[in-house]
Amino acid sequence: DAGVTQSPTHLIKTRGQQVTLRCSPKSGHDTVSWYQQALGQGPQFIFQYYEEEERQRGNFPDRFSGHQFPNYSSELNVNALLLGDSALYLCASSSWTSGNTGELFFGEGSRLTVL
Amino acid sequence: GQNIDQPTEMTATEGAIVQINCTYQTSGFNGLFWYQQHAGEAPTFLSYNVLDGLEEKGRFSSFLSRSKGYSYLLLKELQMKDSASYLCAVRAPLNDYKLSFGAGTTVTVRA
């Protein structure tokens, strides 16, 4: 049973560029959340997708956008990259049919470095 | 908003017990979670508390006091593999789907 998979695992971009990160949720999960984790910090909520809609959004600018596809996979797009966007981007999947326990299954993350 | 505090670092000896405290101030409460994160790896779920009291799961236990806005994670019989960051996370009211995480507590287990 495949867990949450993310790609790419590492990438380097320069300021002003755009990046797309991809996530496939754990089998049977229909909800995908994205988090940003700076070095030495806890994950910060970016947004959550359910039924191909953004259900909730954290305190991130519009440069951060996302999408969920019919197969529940998801993309995170970041435009006009800033140095401060350098972080580990974590995708987490869950299934609301199993009850509101909040158990998130995280992928290994995509490590973004902006130069 | 959410304010979640936990110590930055703790060190303990193999076989000992360590208690990681977490205090929170949130607008509403709908559950507290503990995750373990080894360096360079994904966070993994450890425990969930929504009612006051102690939840025990093998060597790990988690306690919650909602009136005090306080939780702790107890790690018993420490093993070297328990060296990791431990993240406290809170979910606010119903229909708030995000988890708000603390900065994490790095636990180092020494032989």
The pLDDT tens digits of the residues spanning B60-89 come to 999 999 999 999 999 999 999 999 999 999
How confident is residue B8, by pLDDT bands cut at 50, 70 and 90? very high
List C-alpha distances in Å: B90 to A90, B5, B39.
17, 11, 22
| Residues pairing with B19 in the sheet | B74
The closest CB to that of A102, out of B87, B99, B102, belongs to B99
How confident is residue A4, by pLDDT bands cut at 50, 70 and 90? very high
Four-point Cα dihedral B63, B21, B106, A104, nearest 10: 40
User: Can you tell me the mean pLDDT for B15-41?
Assistant: 93
User: Can you tell me the mean pLDDT for B7-35?
Assistant: 94
The closest CB to that of B102, out of A42, A56, A104, belongs to A42
| Residues B83, B107 contacting (CB under 8 angstroms) | yes
The answer to whether residue A98 scores a pLDDT higher than 60 is no
User: Can you tell me the mean pLDDT for B38-50?
Assistant: 92
Calpha distance A35→A88 (Å, rounded)? 8
Give the amino acid at A110: S
Q: Which residues of B12-37 are buried (b: 16+ CB within 10 A; e: fewer)?
A: beeeeebebebbbebeebbbbbbbbb
- For residue B63, what pLDDT is reported? 98
Does A56 contact chain B (CB < 8 Å)? yes
A31-84 pLDDT per residue, tens:
999 999 999 899 999 999 999 999 999 999 999 999 999 999 999 999 999 999
Calpha distance A69→B70 (Å, rounded)? 39
The share of chain B scoring above pLDDT 90, in percent, equals 82
Pick left, alpha or beta for residue A14 (phi over 0 → left; psi -120 to 50 → alpha; otherwise beta): beta
Calpha distance A92→A110 (Å, rounded)? 12
Cβ–Cβ below 8 Å for B31 and A101: yes
Tokens 């009850």 sit on residue: A99
Q: Specify burial of residue A60 (Cβ count, 10 A radius: 0-12, 13-18, 19+).
A: middle
Task: Return the closest-CA partner of residue A92 out of A2, A7, A1, A6.
Answer: A6
Cβ–Cβ below 8 Å for A100 and B100: no
Cβ–Cβ below 8 Å for B97 and A56: yes
- For residue A2, what pLDDT is reported? 73
Mean pLDDT value across chain B? 93
Using an 8 Å CB-CB cutoff, list chain A residues near B94. 100
Using an 8 Å CB-CB cutoff, list chain B residues near A48. 97-98
The answer to whether residue B19 scores a pLDDT higher than 90 is yes
CA distance B87 to chain A (A): 7
- For residue A70, what pLDDT is reported? 96
